[in-house]
Amino acid sequence: MKEILKTFGENLFSLKTMKEIVSSDVYESLVATIYAGKALDSSIAGEVAQAMKDWAIDNGATHYTHWFQPLTGSTAEKHDSFLKPDGKGGAIAQFKASELSMGEPDASSFPSGGLRATFEARGYTAWDPTSPAFLKKVDGVVTLCIPTIFCGYNGEALDMKTPLLRSINVLSEQVCRLGEYFGIDSTDKRASATLGCEQEYFLIDHSFYVERLDLLQTGRTLFGNTPAKHQQLDDHYFGAIKSRILVFMSEVDRELWKLGVPAQTRHNEVCPSQFEIAPLFEELNLAVDHNMIIMEVLRSVAERHGFACLLHEKPFAGVNGSGKHNNWSVTGTDGKNWLTPGDDPHENAKFLAMICALMKAVDTWAPLLRSSVATAGNDHRLGANEAPPAIISIFLGEQLFDVIEQIEKGKAESSKSGGQIAIGISSLPPMPRDATDRNRTSPFAFTGNKFEFRAPGSSQNTSAVNFILNTIVADALEEMCDEIDAAIADGVDFNAALQTCLHEIVKKHKRILFNGDNYTQEWQDEAAKRGLPNLRTTPEALASLVDEDSIALFEKYSILTRAELESRYEVHMEAYRMAIRIEADTAVTMARTLLPLPVIEFQKELATGIKASEEYGCEMKEGKLLLQEISREFENLMAKTKVLENTSIINTEETIAAMNDLRETVDRLEHLTPKELWPLPSYAEMMFMI
Ligand code: ADP
Ligand code: MG
């Protein structure tokens, strides 16, 4: 461990590294940009570039890249060499300020949703100094990666990071404004959102992976029967980790630590061959970048260990899929977590104000929040019989719920059992200190000091989720502060004004609270009665991204313009249609090129066997029935393949139905055909032979 501690962050161009090599003015200027949100002083770029290049080259780098997050949801990089001819027949290593600050990759092939015609291919990347550069080392090839935003010629956002950075500032402004009522001075400081992403994933042996065209092409199995034993016994969850897996996990941790990613927990998940990694939470923008790095490291280390890492939301039907729990909180300019009940009346009032802001935000903008997790892969989790449902609701736990009910009644004085914190003179109720009760079925759960949004899919870039979450919470806070200001202007004292504000919020938005089991039909019925939206599919959910209220919200805070939102909608819809089409085409290819021969082979052998047996006087009644069933299913296979082939990319519902229909036949055939003839590795092999 001592050795590891020494190597923490060694591949990271951190402030700590920089402090040693840049002048103190440049260092102070960067600190002000990173921690106080001051605009970047462009005159420092030259010195930073020089230091960054020297450090990278000392560590073996030959190339640098602007590392950005286009709307594909993954990361993108285009490597440039530091090497420049010196004009005298030799070469020098060079990295100019302009090369650090700005890049111009040919952007014509990145999705822009019509924001930019292909012939106007220019796209620009711009340095994000709030996320440190790092070295990517692959088999001795070292590349300096510089996190950047990515935008078009007129500054239109073409990536995931731009709206996220904008939303972080907007949230900070409103949090600071709330803080003022509580005497928290935010001059030259900024509040930050914090994020800890729990990343679920599957590992299977690489030899099985290459045998499954569906996994290679779509990330999930399109065919396959759930084995007799899978996750029913709950014997995998938190179970002892197999040695081969542990060695893999250990290498993942070490790689991440070198990159300054604070990997913290590792464990077996519910389904066999499913696992989880979670880092310690960090500032939001950094945590999002780190999650992208975690996914990449998982994939590459898996390959080195003879595994394939599956990050799809639903690699296997009939068992749990994978999510990415988005643990979100707010740290104020006092350095404290504002979602922790505090020790004194002031802090509790602030805490309850934040809880109510969340209630108001999530209830008002539930469809928007739902849209942030809408992808083809995630449709297999949300709205299916699996955590969490497509209905957005909040779990607060019994004790906090009780406090909220008291606020609703307008005379909140007592608290249910549990170590209470006296609130003294304030008119707000005492707070339960420990809200550790858990509800695993809730999509948006308060877990004592943060909110855990459980709907994001395992493969997602969480920027999409968090720029929306930040914006809706900022909006709720702004409205609350406006109301409180108006009341104070009318001579009402702050405590009373806050009390009234929270009382009104609870009355209006209490319907969003649900502490029960979210998987039940009763909840679906109850939610419908309460008028909570239940947007089951991606197209339904994405529509809310471009409704007039959403556009007004994002334009109000300059997060995204109408055109940018419309482009995002187009990109996400296209990605959805494409994902379904690729699945359909892959299923057709497999059904045509892999499956017929083995089935006919089996038919032939059966027929021969039956005939031969009959010659010896055997009855062979069941044998004939089996042969008939197989030939019937073979006909179905061909007929259903044709149907699927003829579906259109536009009609996704019809395509999904045709795919499911074909799957039924294929899975039946897998069930009937001898193992040695079936051309695809089985679920049992993939899940258990690791
Ligand atoms: P569980 O599985 O019980 O939900 P874990 O410990 O696996 O919890 O993960 C919880 C995640 O929440 C971790 O990444 C942790 O760092 C993060 N977290 C804890 N406190 C905060 C906070 N204040 N803000 C954001 N994330 C937090
Ligand atoms: Mg969790």
pLDDT tens column, 488-543? 999 999 999 999 999 999 999 999 999 998 988 899 999 999 999 999 999 999 99
Which amino acid, one-letter code, is at 516?
G
CA 447 / ligand 1 centre spacing (Å): 9
- Going from the C-alpha of 290 to that of each of 196, 220, 329, 373, the distances in angstroms are 10, 25, 17, 19
Per-residue pLDDT, 1: 87
CB atoms near residue 50 (< 10 Å) = 17
CB 518, CB 443: distance < 8 Å: yes
Output the six-digit token pair for 664.
Answer: 């039924």
Pocket test for ligand 1, best of 442, 450, 451 (most atoms within 8 A of CB): 450
- In whole angstroms, what separates CA 238 from the centre of its chain? 22
Over residues 563-571, the mean pLDDT reads 95
Kindly report the average pLDDT of the chain as a whole number.
92
Q: What is the spatial distance between Cα 7 and Cα 21, in angstroms, rounded to a whole number? A: 18
Residue whose tokens read 């904008």? 166
Exposure of 307 by Cβ count < 10 A (0-12 exposed, 13-18 middle, 19+ buried)? buried
User: How do the domains of the chain map onto residue ranges?
Assistant: 8-159, 162-196+339-556, 199-223+233-322, 578-688
Is the CB of 194 inside a 6 Å radius of any atom of ligand 1?
Answer: yes
**Does any ligand 1 atom lie closer than 6 A to the CB of residue 282?**
no
Q: Output the residue whose Cα is nearest ligand 1's atom 1.
A: 198
- Integer Cα distance of 50 and 47 in angstroms: 5
pTM here is 0.94
Mean pLDDT, rounded, for 624-634? 97
pLDDT at position 549, please?
Answer: 98
Q: Is the confidence at residue 311, as pLDDT, over 70?
A: yes
Where does 231-334 have alpha helices with state H?
243-258, 284-304
Is it the case that residue 434 has pLDDT exceeding 60?
Answer: no
**Least-confidence region, from 32-36, 148-152, 683-687:** 32-36
Per-residue confidence (pLDDT) for residue 470, from 0 to 100: 98
Residue with tokens 């029967």: 225
Output the CA–CA distances (angstroms, integers) from residue 511 to 288, 359, 392, 415, in the order listed.
31, 9, 11, 21
CATH architecture of 578-688: Up-down Bundle (1.20)
With a 6 Å cutoff on the Cβ, whether 280 touches ligand 1 is yes
Average pLDDT over residues 639-645: 98
E strands present in 69-116: 76-81, 83-85, 91-93, 102-103
Statement: residue 421 has pLDDT above 50: no
Any atom of ligand 1 within 6 Å of the Cβ of 322: no
Place 437 in a pLDDT band, splitting at 50, 70 and 90: low
Residue 581 Cα to ligand 2 midpoint, Å, equals: 33
Q: Is residue 37 left, alpha or beta, with left meaning phi > 0 and alpha meaning psi from -120 to 50?
A: left
Instruction: State which amino acid sits at residue 358.
Output: L
CB within 8 A of 15, min separation 6: which ones? 27, 30, 31, 34, 132
Q: Which ligand lies nearest to the CA atom of residue 197 in the structure? A: 1
Q: Are 688 and 242 in contact (CB under 8 A)?
A: no
**What is the best residue among 197, 198, 256, 446 to mutate for testing ligand 1's pocket, by most ligand atoms within 8 Å of CB?**
198
Using pLDDT thresholds of 50, 70 and 90, give the confidence band for residue 426.
very low
**pLDDT score of 413 more than 90:** no
Query: In CATH, which superfamily holds the domain spanning 8-159?
Result: Glutamine synthetase, N-terminal domain (3.10.20.70)
Confidence class for position 37, pLDDT limits 50, 70, 90: confident
For 190-237, write each residue's pLDDT tens digit. Answer: 999 999 999 999 999 999 999 999 999 999 999 999 988 888 877 788
| Tens of pLDDT, residues 439-467 | 788 999 999 999 999 999 999 999 999 99
Q: How confident is the model at residue 239 (pLDDT cuts 50, 70, 90)?
A: confident
Tell me the CATH architecture of domain 199-223+233-322.
2-Layer Sandwich (3.30)
pLDDT for residue 120 = 64
Strands 451-453, 324-331: pairing is antiparallel
**C-alpha 525: how far from its chain's center?**
28
pLDDT more than 90, % of the chain:
78
Provide the terminal-to-terminal Cα distance of the chain, rounded to the nearest Å.
28
97-118 tens-digit pLDDT? 999 988 888 777 788 887 765 5
Question: For position 345, what pLDDT does the model report?
Answer: 73
- What tokens appear for 521 in the block? 């039909």
Asked whether 269 lines ligand 1 (CB < 6 A), one says: no
- DSSP code for 516: S
Which has the minimum average pLDDT: 74-88, 323-337, 384-398? 384-398
Give me 461's structure tokens. 């870039």
Q: Is the pLDDT of residue 422 over 50?
A: no
Say what the pLDDT of residue 425 is: 31
Identify the residue whose tokens are 């034993």. 229
